[in-house]
Chains A and B, each alone.
Chain A
Amino acid sequence: MDKLLRDKKAIILFVAPALILFTVVLFIPIGTSFYYALCDYDKKTMTYHFIGLGNFIRLFKDKTMFIAFKNSMFFLVFSCVSQLIFGLLFAALLTNITKGRNLFKNVIYLPCVLSSAALGLLWAFLFHAKVGINNLLGAWGLPQPAWLYSTSGFITLPMWVIAFVALWQYVGQSMMLYMAQISGINKSLYEASYIDGATKKQAFRYITLPLVKPMIGTAMSLNAIGSLKFFDLIYSMLGDKTENLKMDVLATYLYRTGFSSKGGNHYGRASAIGVILVALCLIATAVINKIFKTENYEM
C-alpha cells in the first residue's frame, strides 16, 4: 500500500476520475455562471452580450433584490440562532436520558429525511386561509391570522411561519451533530466535576459547551449555507406568489429571474444573483469559522 501511495502515476490515476467529474459538473458551470453574470441575455436573439457589471448595478437598485436579500438574511440569523439553541437543548436532554432516547431522537430527526416539497404542501394546508389551523380557530370563534399571505411588517408573518417550519424540519440535523460531539466527551470529566461539587447546569456550562464549540461552528456553517440557499420549502408553500407577497429569498428570486414567465428569461441577471449567493455563502462560512475558531481539546 505504501509503495502504491508513493507512486505519483497511481495517485493521479485514482484522483483523476473524481477530479474530472468535479470539474465538469461543478467547476466549469460555476466559472460559466461567473461569465454569464457579466452578460445580458437577449430573449429575441437568444444570445449573450457582455455588459460588465451592469447586472450587479441593476440588482443593487432593484427593490425585489433588497426584499430577497433582507429575507435571506432573516433566515440566516433565525436559522443559526434557533437551531443552535434548540439543537443543543435537544442534544443535551437526549444524552442525559436513557429511556425513550432513540424514539425521541428519531422523531426529531425524521423531518430531515422527508421531502421538503411534501412537507411544504403539508404545512401549506395547515396554514391555509380557510382549512387547517384557521378552520380550528374559526370553530372556536378566534381570529384567523393571514399565516401565509400577510404582507405587513418589516419581517412579515409568512416569513416567521416558514422559518418555524424550517426549524422544525432541520433542527434534527443540528441535534445529531451536537449529540455526536457530546457523546465523545469523556465521562470522567463530568464525574470529576460532580465530585468537585458542580451542578448539572454548571457541568453543561463549563464542560459541555466549551467542548461542543468546534461542532457549533460546523453546524452553524451548515445552517448558514442551507438558509442562504433556502428554496424548496418557500416554493412548495407559496408557489409563484413569492413576489406579490414580498416573500422572495435570493434563491427564489434567482429562479424567477432565470426561468419564470413572470419577469423571467434573464439568465445573465440570474447568474449575477447566483454569484452574490456564492459570495454570501463564503462570507458567512468565513465569519462563523472566525467566531467559533477553537483549539481542539483532548476529550
Chain B
Amino acid sequence: MNRKAVSVMLSLSMAAGLLAGVPMTAGAEEVQEITWMFWDDLEASEDPITQGFAANIERFNADFEGKYHVTPITTTLEEYYTQLNALVAAGETPDVFIVSPGPNLTDYVAPGVVAPLDEYLEADGWKDTFSSDAVFTQQTYDGKIYAVPLNIAAACCYYNKDIFEEAGAEVPTTYEELLDACAKIKEAGYTPITISAGTAWCLSMLAGYLCDRSGVDLAAINAGDESWVQDKTIAAGEKLLELSQYFQETAAGDSNDDATMAFAMGDAAILIQGSWAIGQMNAYNPDIEEKCGVFQFPAIEGGGDPGRTIAKSDSLAVSATSKCPEGAVELIKYFTDDEAQKYTAEVGGKIPVTNVEFDLDVAPAQLADVMDVFSNATGTFGFYNESLVSSDAGSEFDNEMVAIFQQEKTPEEAFQAVEDWYAEEGYR
C-alpha cells in the first residue's frame, strides 16, 4: 500500500471518528440546561441533606429527560459565596443557587441578581403547600419573595447523656447551671463543650445566643438607636470568655466538622449547633443517636427572653438572567414536594417547610427533641452574622468574637471595634 492510500485511509477514519460524536450532540440541542449551585459535594458528602438534594436532582433529570437537564456546580461551604460572587461578577450567575436568608440574600436582591418568584408560587397552588406564609418572612423584600425555603433548622445544645450521667451533671436551664455542668464534666475528664473558632460562624453563633439571652436589642443597634458598646453586649462577651475555658484545647484551629466529630465520637459532652448537624453526627457515629439529648440554650438571669431560638433555613433563588426560569422553578419544586420534604425530616433531621406528613419514629431520634425545643420557643431570631446591616458587618462581628475568644481584645474593645466599623461604614 502506498503512502497516499494510507494517508487517505487515516483521514477518513479521523473524519468518521469526529462524525461519531454528532448524534450525541444533535439530540441534546433541544434540552435546556439548568445550572444549580450548592455548597457541598453531592457525590462525596456524608451529609444526608446533601444526599437528599442529589436524589432530587436525579429525579428531576429523569422526569424531564429530553426537556431540561440540571448540571450541579458544587463547592465547599467555605468557598461557596466566593465562587458564587465570581460567577455573578462574570455574568454567569447559575440559574438556581442556594443562599442563606439575611444579608447574603440581600446582596443578590439589591442589585437585581435574583428574580422575584411570587408569580410562580401563586400560579398552581404551590405556595399553599407550605406550612405558613411565615416561612417566607426572611426571603421577602418589599412584599416580593426572592427565594424558596427548603427546610428549617434550629440551633440547639446537644448533649451526651452518658457523659452527663457519669459526671453527675444535670441538664442546664440557666447559665449558672451550664457553668456548673461544665465544671463537673471537666472534672470527670471530658471536654465540656466542643466548638469551632476556626470556622468563625460557629463561635459567633454562641456569641449570638449569649447576646440575645443577655437582652441585647439587635434591631435597635442596627437602626443606630443603641450602641454596640453597652452593658448587655459586654456581659455577653465576658460570658463567651468564661465559657471558653471549657472548650476543647484545639478549638482555635478546629473546623466545624472537627468539632461535630468530637461530639459524635464521645470526646465532648456538649455541642452547640444547628439541627443540620444531626445527620452529620449520626453519620460519623450511629451510636450517638441514642446517647444524644437536646436542650434549649440556657437562660441568663435578668436578661432577655429565654425561649427564643436561632432558626435558619436553606433557600433556593433563581437568577434574574436565567434563560430557563420555568425549568428553574420546576427544579425548585422538586425540593419542596412531599418526597423531598419527607426525606428532609425523616433522614436529614431538619424541620420541613411544607405540610407534609412524616413518621417521627423513622426520623433521627434527636429531631423529636429539636422539634420540641422549636415548638416551645417563644420566638426565633437569625444568626447574628446574618442579621446585621450587611454581610461585611457580619464578618466584622465574627472576627471580633474570635478576638475575644483568643483574648486579643477585651469584650469592651471588641464591641467598640464593631461600633467603630458601623460608624466608618456610615451606619451611624
B252: A residues at CB distance < 8 A: 146, 149-151, 245
Question: How far is A169 from B85 in the complex, measured between Cα atoms in Å?
Answer: 32
Which of the residues B83, B85, B250, B258 comes within 8 Å of A146, measured between beta carbons? B250
Which B residues are in CB contact (< 8 Å) with A239? 76, 78, 255
For residue B197, CB closer than 8 A to chain A, the reply is yes
Contact A244 B198 (CB under 8 A): yes
**Bound complex: CA of A264 vs CA of B78, how far in Å?**
13
Q: Looking at the complex, which of A5-13, A41-49, A81-89, A93-101 is the stretch in contact with chain B?
A: A41-49
How far apart sit A15 and B75, CA to CA, in the bound complex (Å)? 41
Of residues 240 through 266 on chain A, the ones whose CB sits less than 8 Å from some CB of chain B are: 240-241, 243-245, 255, 259-265
A141-158 interface bits toward B, Cβ cutoff 8 Å, 1 = contact, 0 = none:
000001011110000000
Could you tell me the distance in whole angstroms from the C-beta of A105 to the nearest C-beta in chain B?
36
B198 to A149, Cβ gap below 8 A?
Answer: yes
Q: Are B408 and A259 in contact (CB under 8 A)?
A: no
Residues of B92-112 at the interface with A, using a CB-CB cut-off of 8 Å, are 104, 107, 110-111
Chain B residue with minimal CB distance to A64? B399
| B253–A43 CB distance below 8 A | no
A260 contact from B82, B254, B255, Cβ within 8 A = B82
Residues of B within 8 A of A130 (CB): 250, 258
Q: Are A259 and B402 in contact (CB under 8 A)?
A: no
Is A129 a contact partner of B392 (Cβ separation < 8 A)? no
Q: How far is the CA of A260 from the CA of B391 in the complex (A)?
A: 11
Let me know if A90 is at the binding interface, CB within 8 A.
no
- Quote the shortest CB–CB distance from B341 to chain A (angstroms): 28
What's the Cα separation between A98 and B82 when bound, in Å? 51
B265 CB → nearest A CB, Å: 11
Given the complex, which residues of B lie within 8 Å of A244, measured CB to CB?
197-198, 200, 398-399, 402, 406
**Interface check B5, CB cutoff 8 A:** no
Counting contact residues on chain B (CB < 8 A from A), the size range is 20 to 34
Give A259's nearest chain B residue, CB to CB. B82
- Decide yes or no whether A267 CB sits under 8 A from chain B: yes
Residue B80 is within 8 A (CB to CB) of chain A in the complex:
yes
Contact of A129 among B110, B250, B396, B398 (CB under 8 A): B250
Interface of A is mostly: loop
Query: CB-CB < 8 A to B222: which residues of A?
Result: none
Asked if residues B406 and A260 are in contact (CB atoms below 8 Å), the reply is no
B81 at the A interface (CB under 8 A): yes
Name the A residues within 8 Å of B408 (CB-CB): 151
Which residue of A45, A150, A259 is within 8 Å of B85 (Cβ)?
A259
Q: How far is the CB of B89 from chain A (nearest CB, A)?
A: 7
Chain B residues contacting A150 (CB-CB under 8 Å) are 252
- In the complex, whether B220 has a CB less than 8 A from a CB of chain A is no
Min CB gap A117→B, angstroms: 12
Q: Give the total of A residues in contact with B, Cβ under 8 Å.
A: 26
A149–B247 alpha-carbon span in the complex (Å): 15
CB contacts (< 8 Å) of A43 on chain B: these are: 107, 110-111
Interface string of B253-268 (1 = CB under 8 A from A): 1110010000000000
Query: Do the beta carbons of A45 and B78 come within 8 Å of each other?
Result: no
Residues of A within 8 A of B200 (CB): 244, 262
Complex CA gap A231/B254 in Å reads 21
Classify the secondary structure of B's interface with A: helix
* Residue from the list A149, A255, A264, A265 in contact with B253, Cβ < 8 A: A149
A98-141 CB mask vs B (1 if < 8 Å, else 0) is: 00000000000000000000000000000001100000000000
Query: With A244-B399, A244-B402, A261-B81 given, is the CB distance from A129 to B253 under 8 Å?
Result: yes
* Inter-subunit contact B253/A261 (CB<8 Å): no
Q: Within the complex, what minimum Cβ distance (angstroms) separates B260 from chain A?
A: 14
Q: A241 to B82, Cβ gap below 8 A? A: no
A44: which B residues are within 8 A, CB to CB?
110-111
Find the B residue at minimum CB distance from A256. Answer: B82
Q: Among A129, A150, A261, find the residue whose CB has the most chain B CB atoms closer than 10 A.
A: A261
User: Are B399's CB and A243's CB within 8 A?
Assistant: yes
A77 to B240, CA, bound (A): 39
A261 to B82 Cα, complex, angstroms: 6
How far is B253's CA from A55's CA once the two chains are assembled, in angstroms?
A: 31
Q: Is the CB of B402 within 8 A of A261?
A: no
* With A44-B111, A243-B399, A244-B200 as contacts: A261 and B391 at CB distance below 8 Å: yes
Determine the chain A residues whose CB is within 8 A of the CB of B80 once the complex forms: 261
Instruction: Give A130 to B258 CA distance when docked, in angstroms.
Output: 10
When chains A and B are docked, how far (Å) is the Cα of A148 from the Cα of B253?
Answer: 7
Q: Whole-angstrom distance between the alpha carbons of A110 and B75 in the complex?
A: 29
Alpha-carbon distance A240/B395, docked complex (angstroms): 12
User: Distance (Å) between the CB of B334 and the closest chain A CB?
Assistant: 26
CA distance A146 to B82 in the complex (A): 28
Q: B253 touching A45 by the CB < 8 A rule? A: no
Q: Which residues of A contact B76 (CB under 8 A)?
A: 239
Name the A residues within 8 Å of B85 (CB-CB). Answer: 259-261, 264-265
Tell me, yes or no, whether B86 is within 8 Å of chain A by CB.
Answer: yes
User: Once the chains are docked, how many angstroms separate the CA of A136 from the CA of B350?
Assistant: 39
**Nearest chain A residue, comparing its CB with the CB of B392:** A263
Contact residues, A147-204 vs B (CB, 8 A): 148-151
Q: B73 to nearest A CB, angstroms?
A: 15
Q: Which of A148, A239, A241 has the most CB of B within 10 A?
A: A241
User: Which residues of A have CB within 8 Å of B83?
Assistant: 259
Query: In whole angstroms, what is the CA distance A45 to B76 when docked?
Result: 28
Q: How far is the CA of A119 from the CA of B428 in the complex (A)?
A: 46
A235–chain B nearest beta-carbon distance, Å: 10
- A264 vs B76: C-alpha distance when bound (angstroms): 17
Return the chain B residue nearest A146 by Cβ.
B253
Smallest CB separation, A5 vs chain B (Å): 35
**Chain B residues near A261 (CB, 8 Å)?**
80-82, 85, 104, 391, 395
A241 touches B198 (CB 8 A): yes
Question: A146-B250, A151-B252 in contact; A46/B111 too (CB < 8 A)?
Answer: yes
Contact of A264 among B81, B111, B255, B406 (CB under 8 A): B81
Q: Say yes or no: A45 contacts B395, CB within 8 Å.
A: no
Chain A residue numbers with a CB within 8 Å of B398 are 244, 262
How close is A47's CB to chain B, nearest CB, in angstroms?
A: 9
Task: Pick from B76, B252, B253, B254 the residue with the most CB of A within 10 Å.
Answer: B253
List the 10 closest pairs (A to B, CB-CB), nearest first: A149-B253, A261-B81, A129-B250, A44-B110, A240-B78, A262-B395, A263-B395, A259-B82, A244-B402, A46-B111
| 8 A-B interface contacts by CB (under 8 A) | A150-B252, A151-B252, A241-B199, A244-B197, A244-B198, A259-B86, A260-B81, A261-B395
